[in-house]
Chain A
Amino acid sequence: MKYKAVIGLEMHCELKSNSKVFSPSRNSYSELANSNVNAIDLAFPGTMPSANKKCVKDSIKMAMVLNCRIPEYMLFDRKNYFYPDLPKGYQLTQFTMPVGVHGHVDVPFEGGILPVDIHDIHLEEDAASMDHLENSSVIDYNRGGVPLLELVTEPCLHSAKEAVAFLEFMRSAYQYCDASEADTKKGQIRCDVNVSIMDEDATELGTRVEIKNVNSFGNVHDAIVYEIKRQSDLKDAGRYDEVVQETRRFDEESGRTIHMRSKEDAVDYKYFVEPNIPRYRITPEWKESIRREIPRLSHERRREYLETYGFSETDATVLTRDKGISDYFEKCVDLGMEPKEACNWVTGSIVAWLNKNEAEIKDFYLTPEMLKFIYDNVKKGTISGKQAKEVFTKVLDEKKEPSAFISKENAQISDAGELEKIIDEIIARSPKEVEGYRNGRDRLFDYFVGQVMKATRGKANPIMTKDILHSKLDV
């Protein structure tokens, strides 16, 4: 590439919570239109906001993940503009004092590190969603007031790949912190992308173009690639003056960005501090307790799995994709399972079962404790590896404790002394068959195995049985 691209991202992520960020309406998506609304969401006269503490807490948590400076007080501002998706005529957001500023994260990227500077992260409310039909528009206020965290990076990224790596890193962080499902398919993440280009040796940034409301990481990638090319082509043709400061949108079908509005149309939002929410002190104690809730994130765990346990890239990826899976694996190791074996169980049988049943690990019936119990019985030789798989399936099918399937009754006999005793008795009462076998009638070996199984009602450890029989007969 001839030119250096400079990219900044604004990432909006809907937070997980029972109720909306400033009202007691339910925060849940894709239900019947306008079913999760109340007087506050619709800005009926006299209604007032009440800040949701869980959302405030999660916003502080994410600011910490981004290593931001966190203010002493929580404050909200009004961003004033008229639009039908905004019943109050203003959006509650954070302008004067965002919950996090001046952050920095190192994102793992292509085997190295991608340093990303964060301008700020702030908590705000989402607007309602609108559908524009041919002659009219319809509004669904369910989304109005849904908690939204917006993070703004500095213009410090230089390619579509870097941008996507950062977004994926953040998506995982949101999920690991249990702050959001961060599901782009549900529209929970939306991005604005700022792109400019400059000569490699230039010191001044080029003209910045903003692409608004890009709703998947794939589209973020394509929009950046398209925009860099569009600007580069114009620059090549000596028409860089045609690159103007403007807002564009990404058209998925054509894969192009399209002009929306120019800088002159920019709105003055007349921000001022929301008077109805008194400044709320973020005490050092509260901060500390929030910090303690932050789990080890996926990239930290991944590094550990690769370096400490020596797992393959594939295994590390499968184990860390979902925090629930990783937590399950780590619990198994904590309980004393061999890491490699725990990994095999999790990445093998468990993930396969979850995929097949379209289930999630949080709803998985078989706990790490149960898995450890099965594992211990294999180690003790009470059951075989094959039987362990059967017990695993039975536990999940019948929703019973594994001990229900590994009782004394049906346990495998793997005690060498016990088996030897049984085998000695059989040999003693079968002189004809012993003689026949020793004279070359190999098939008679199966007769002895059958006898042992008969005597133990099938519970004899088959391998041990064969070993002992061989040692007794093959003399």
Chain B
Amino acid sequence: MKYTEKSIVELHGLLKSGELTPADLLAESLEKIHVLQDKCNAFVTIIDDAEPEAVTDSLLSGIPYGVKDLYSTKDILTTGSSNTLRDYVPFFSATAVENLDKAGAVKAAKTVTDEFGMGGTGTTGHTGIVHNPWDLDRMCAGSSAGSACAVSAGVVPFALGTDTGDSIRKPAAYCGIVGFKPTYGMISRYGVFPFASSIDHCGAFARSVADVAIVIDAMKGKDDKDMTTWDSSHIHLYDDLKPQLAGMKLCYVKELCDISHYPNPHRELREHLANFMEKMELLRANGAIVEEVSVDQALLNAQPSVYVILSCAEATSNLANLTGLIFGPRGDGETYIDVMKDHRTHGFSSLIKRRLVIGSYVLQKENQERYFKNAQRVRRLLVDRWKELYQTYDAVILPVGTGPAKHLDGSLDILDEGTSPLEEHMQIGNFGGFPSITIPDGFIDGLPVGMNITGNNYEDQKVLNIAAAIEGLMDYKDQIAREVKR
């Protein structure tokens, strides 16, 4: 049986007609989750005692899904893939999870993340590294590694992610699936472990634009517990999903996409950008207006550092509640300072500690103006520039990263000079809180690559309509990972 590889809409039809029972669907999913776990190590917790939900008119009723281990799930272990919370069982669920509970979706597993979402490799979680189901020697990217892996491998139709830099949209590309984070504040972050609150987003993975729209519809909504949420009750992403490309004005950034900007580009980068340009021609052929725009190179070069400064600064403060005093393993020591220190020293991985030191440094009185405040200013400049683009264009369309998934053994990757802005540009979507989606747009050596479409705030519907239209022109909808044999 391969029901879990089907789309949400298709599954709903089968469940409704009685051809498939929610119990059988859940059992199949759990069985495959165990098999995938042995292969890819994508899960922190497999919820073997999950109860099937009754089928209702809700499209998600009875559908099993994966939950990134940053979302609090009541009575289910939630670790943030960190030793600091290795035994933490929340007594409340994140609002987004509660909303999915109401829609009748079934939590089948908690998925591995880079520790507290702080990483882009899927290798820093306390349960070990996550392997890419297309090629076990490669990474899924991160931080939502386990969720991307599970959806890509076809063990669940959808999974939840969070996205502070590109933690949904990069893994989606590496795993050949769809990853979407809607406008900041559309989905409540209450109960989701924070990384950098001003740029943290909730979102989801699925294997088609339509499916991801269904999931976001169920997750979203104004929440009194999250003051940054806004009322989106008038927005129905799935019902109003109308693939549209004709007449749409799209732009890509010359400085990121033009191969001549990279001295001695590696083959993968060349193929990746060539594929992207080919797809731009395809869009033009189908009625879209696609134009090249130019963005100040200095601004683009500054962007990755801005991200490091802002995200690390907020993280030092957001993670300050992890002291082991109220929850988490209690540290040893004579004084409260020793007890806290012991908990944090043994709980955090070295990568997190490095980021916390950076965050603390840039917030210090004597450094704040030079680093933190300046980073905020550059963030504003970048967002303003993108907003300016949205005056003319319906969306900005760009290739994701520099090629297919990177190797887990980093020494096997060739890092091209000057590619950092191309690697990190999706963070601008976080700076501006823009709706942003990654869809697969081709293959290099049998491995998927992706493109990203980012629109203006509150234009989530438009972004999905464009993405759905582009998806329809290509052959990558509903694709399941096919392991590359070496």
Inter-subunit contact B189/A48 (CB<8 Å):
yes
Q: Does A240 contact B (CB under 8 A)?
A: no
Stretch of A86-94, A190-198, A282-290 contacting B (4+ beta carbons < 8 Å)? A86-94
Q: Does A47 contact B (CB under 8 A)?
A: yes
Inter-subunit contact A276/B228 (CB<8 Å):
yes
Inter-subunit contact B227/A50 (CB<8 Å):
yes
Contacts of A50 in B (CB 8 A): 224-225, 227
Q: Does A39 contact B (CB under 8 A)?
A: yes
Q: Does B276 contact A (CB under 8 A)?
A: no
B338-373 at interface with A (beta carbon < 8 Å): 340, 360, 363-365, 368, 372
B279-323 at interface with A (beta carbon < 8 Å): 313-314, 316-317, 319-323
Stretch of B50-58, B191-199, B249-257, B439-447 contacting A (4+ beta carbons < 8 Å)? B191-199
Q: How far is the CB of A47 from chain B (nearest CB, A)?
A: 7
Checking A84, A88, A270, A275 against B364 with a beta-carbon cut-off of 8 angstroms, the contacting residue is A270
Q: Does A112 contact B (CB under 8 A)?
A: no
Q: How far is the CA of A297 from the CA of B198 in the complex (A)?
A: 42
Contacts of B198 in A (CB 8 A): 275
**Contact-residue size bin, chain B (C-beta under 8 Å from the other chain):** 35 or more
Contacts of A49 in B (CB 8 A): 227
Question: Is chain B's interface secondary structure helix, strand, loop, or mixed overall?
Answer: loop
Inter-subunit contact B72/A45 (CB<8 Å):
yes
Q: How far is the CB of B212 from chain A (nearest CB, A)?
A: 23
Checking B191, B323, B372 against A272 with a beta-carbon cut-off of 8 angstroms, the contacting residue is B372
Contact with B along A30-49 (1 / 0, CB 8 A): 00000000010011111111
Q: How far is the CB of B24 from chain A (nearest CB, A)?
A: 33
Inter-subunit contact B225/A48 (CB<8 Å):
yes
Q: How far is the CA of A39 from the CA of B226 in the complex (A)?
A: 14
A445-475 at interface with B (beta carbon < 8 Å): none
Q: How far is the CA of A78 from the CA of B314 in the complex (A)?
A: 10
Contact with A along B387-420 (1 / 0, CB 8 A): 0000000000000000000000000000000000
Inter-subunit contact B227/A48 (CB<8 Å):
yes
Q: Does B63 contact A (CB under 8 A)?
A: no
Inter-subunit contact B320/A80 (CB<8 Å):
yes
Q: Does A370 contact B (CB under 8 A)?
A: no
Q: Does A243 contact B (CB under 8 A)?
A: no
* Given the contacts A46-B72, A80-B363, A276 and B372 also touching, CB distance less than 8 Å: no
Q: Does A164 contact B (CB under 8 A)?
A: no
Q: How far is the CA of A120 from the CA of B228 in the complex (A)?
A: 27
Checking B193, B197, B336 against A45 with a beta-carbon cut-off of 8 angstroms, the contacting residue is B193
Inter-subunit contact B227/A89 (CB<8 Å):
no
Inter-subunit contact A276/B314 (CB<8 Å):
no
A47-101 at interface with B (beta carbon < 8 Å): 47-51, 78, 80, 82-84, 87-90
Inter-subunit contact A88/B363 (CB<8 Å):
no
Q: How far is the CB of B276 from chain A (nearest CB, A)?
A: 33
* Given the contacts A48-B189, A272-B317, A87 and B197 also touching, CB distance less than 8 Å: no
Q: How far is the CB of A360 from chain B (nearest CB, A)?
A: 34
When C-beta atoms are compared, the residue in chain B nearest to A42 turns out to be B326
Q: Does A436 contact B (CB under 8 A)?
A: no
When C-beta atoms are compared, the residue in chain A nearest to B344 turns out to be A82
Q: How far is the CA of A299 from the CA of B94 in the complex (A)?
A: 51
Q: How far is the CB of A20 from chain B (nearest CB, A)?
A: 14
Contacts of A276 in B (CB 8 A): 197, 226-228
Q: How far is the CA of A149 from the CA of B191 in the complex (A)?
A: 29
Q: How far is the CA of A42 from the CA of B90 in the complex (A)?
A: 13
Q: How far is the CA of A84 from the CA of B338 in the complex (A)?
A: 12
When C-beta atoms are compared, the residue in chain A nearest to B366 turns out to be A268
Inter-subunit contact B314/A275 (CB<8 Å):
yes
Contact with A along B8-22 (1 / 0, CB 8 A): 000000000000000
When C-beta atoms are compared, the residue in chain B nearest to A40 turns out to be B225
Inter-subunit contact B323/A89 (CB<8 Å):
yes
Inter-subunit contact B365/A268 (CB<8 Å):
yes
When C-beta atoms are compared, the residue in chain A nearest to B88 turns out to be A45
Inter-subunit contact B363/A39 (CB<8 Å):
no
Q: Does A278 contact B (CB under 8 A)?
A: yes
Contacts of B189 in A (CB 8 A): 46, 48
B29-73 at interface with A (beta carbon < 8 Å): 70-72
Inter-subunit contact B197/A44 (CB<8 Å):
no
Q: How far is the CA of A443 from the CA of B9 in the complex (A)?
A: 112
Checking B72, B85, B228, B360 against A270 with a beta-carbon cut-off of 8 angstroms, the contacting residue is B360
Q: Does B337 contact A (CB under 8 A)?
A: yes
Q: How far is the CB of B117 from chain A (nearest CB, A)?
A: 12
Q: Does B325 contact A (CB under 8 A)?
A: yes
Central interface residue in B189, B196, B363, by most chain A CB within 10 Å:
B363
Inter-subunit contact A46/B320 (CB<8 Å):
no
Inter-subunit contact A48/B323 (CB<8 Å):
no
Contacts of A42 in B (CB 8 A): 326-327
Q: How far is the CA of A87 from the CA of B320 in the complex (A)?
A: 8
Q: How far is the CA of A349 from the CA of B94 in the complex (A)?
A: 59
Q: How far is the CA of A30 from the CA of B320 in the complex (A)?
A: 28
Checking B85, B190, B314, B323 against A47 with a beta-carbon cut-off of 8 angstroms, the contacting residue is B190
Q: How far is the CB of A46 from chain B (nearest CB, A)?
A: 4
When C-beta atoms are compared, the residue in chain A nearest to B94 turns out to be A46
Q: Does A406 contact B (CB under 8 A)?
A: no
Q: How far is the CA of A80 from the CA of B368 in the complex (A)?
A: 14
Inter-subunit contact A43/B227 (CB<8 Å):
no
Q: Does B80 contact A (CB under 8 A)?
A: yes
When C-beta atoms are compared, the residue in chain B nearest to A89 turns out to be B320
Q: Does A350 contact B (CB under 8 A)?
A: no
* Given the contacts A46-B192, A272-B363, A88 and B228 also touching, CB distance less than 8 Å: no
Inter-subunit contact B227/A44 (CB<8 Å):
no
Q: How far is the CA of A264 from the CA of B153 in the complex (A)?
A: 57
Q: How far is the CA of A276 from the CA of B322 in the complex (A)?
A: 19
B169-202 at interface with A (beta carbon < 8 Å): 189-194, 196-198
When C-beta atoms are compared, the residue in chain A nearest to B365 turns out to be A268
Q: Does A277 contact B (CB under 8 A)?
A: yes
Contacts of A44 in B (CB 8 A): 72, 90, 92, 321, 326-327
Contacts of A275 in B (CB 8 A): 196-198, 228, 314
When C-beta atoms are compared, the residue in chain B nearest to A84 turns out to be B336
Inter-subunit contact B337/A268 (CB<8 Å):
no
* Given the contacts A45-B72, A46-B94, A272-B363, A80 and B317 also touching, CB distance less than 8 Å: yes
Contacts of B321 in A (CB 8 A): 43-45, 87-89
Contacts of A90 in B (CB 8 A): 317, 320
Q: How far is the CB of A39 from chain B (nearest CB, A)?
A: 6
Inter-subunit contact B85/A45 (CB<8 Å):
yes
B142-161 at interface with A (beta carbon < 8 Å): none
Contacts of B227 in A (CB 8 A): 48-51, 276-278
Inter-subunit contact A39/B91 (CB<8 Å):
yes
Q: How far is the CA of A268 from the CA of B190 in the complex (A)?
A: 29
When C-beta atoms are compared, the residue in chain B nearest to A90 turns out to be B317
Contacts of B193 in A (CB 8 A): 45-46
Additional A-B contacts beyond A46-B192, A89-B321, A268-B365 (20; CB < 8 A): A44-B90, A45-B78, A45-B80, A45-B327, A47-B191, A48-B189, A48-B197, A80-B363, A82-B340, A84-B325, A89-B317, A89-B319, A89-B323, A90-B317, A90-B320, A270-B317, A272-B368, A272-B372, A275-B228, A278-B228
A-B interface, 7 closest residue pairs, ranked by CB to CB distance from nearest: A89-B320, A275-B198, A270-B363, A43-B321, A275-B197, A46-B191, A45-B193
| Interchain residue pairs with CB less than 8 A apart (12) | A42-B326, A44-B72, A44-B321, A45-B327, A46-B189, A48-B190, A80-B363, A82-B323, A84-B336, A89-B317, A270-B368, A276-B197
